């Protein structure tokens, strides 16, 4: 399963909002090249590997447009 998912159609744009990019401590997101159906520019995931699953982007997003999967168990533990 993926670590992150962005609901493009719910996003109101990194230019006007941009909270996800601001609260992410790693550089996981970048503004998309394209606009969504409403004319907003959502973020795209560029560095999924850097994601620490801190959930900041999910918790701060005012439009419930980002999900982070629950933190994986440490390697080796089960």
Residues in touch with other proteins (CB under 8 A): 1-2, 4-5, 7, 9-10, 12-13, 16-19, 22, 40, 58-64, 67, 69
> For other proteins, which is the closer residue by CB, 15 or 76?
15
> For other proteins, which is the closer residue by CB, 16 or 33?
16
> For other proteins, which is the closer residue by CB, 17 or 28?
17
What one-character-per-residue DSSP string does 8-77 give? Answer: GGG---TTTT-HHHHH-SS--EEE-SS--TTS---EEES-GGG-----HHHHH-TT--EEEPPPPPPTT-
């Amino acid at each position: 399963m993926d670590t992150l998912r962005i609901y493009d159609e719910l996003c109101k744009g990194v230019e006007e909002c941009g909270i996800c990019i601001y609260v992410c401590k790693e550089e996981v997101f970048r503004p998309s090249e394209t606009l969504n159906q409403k004319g907003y520019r959502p973020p795209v995931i560029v560095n999924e590997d850097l994601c620490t699953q801190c959930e900041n982007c999910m918790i701060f997003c005012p439009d419930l447009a980002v999900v982070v999967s629950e933190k994986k168990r440490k390697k080796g533990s089960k």
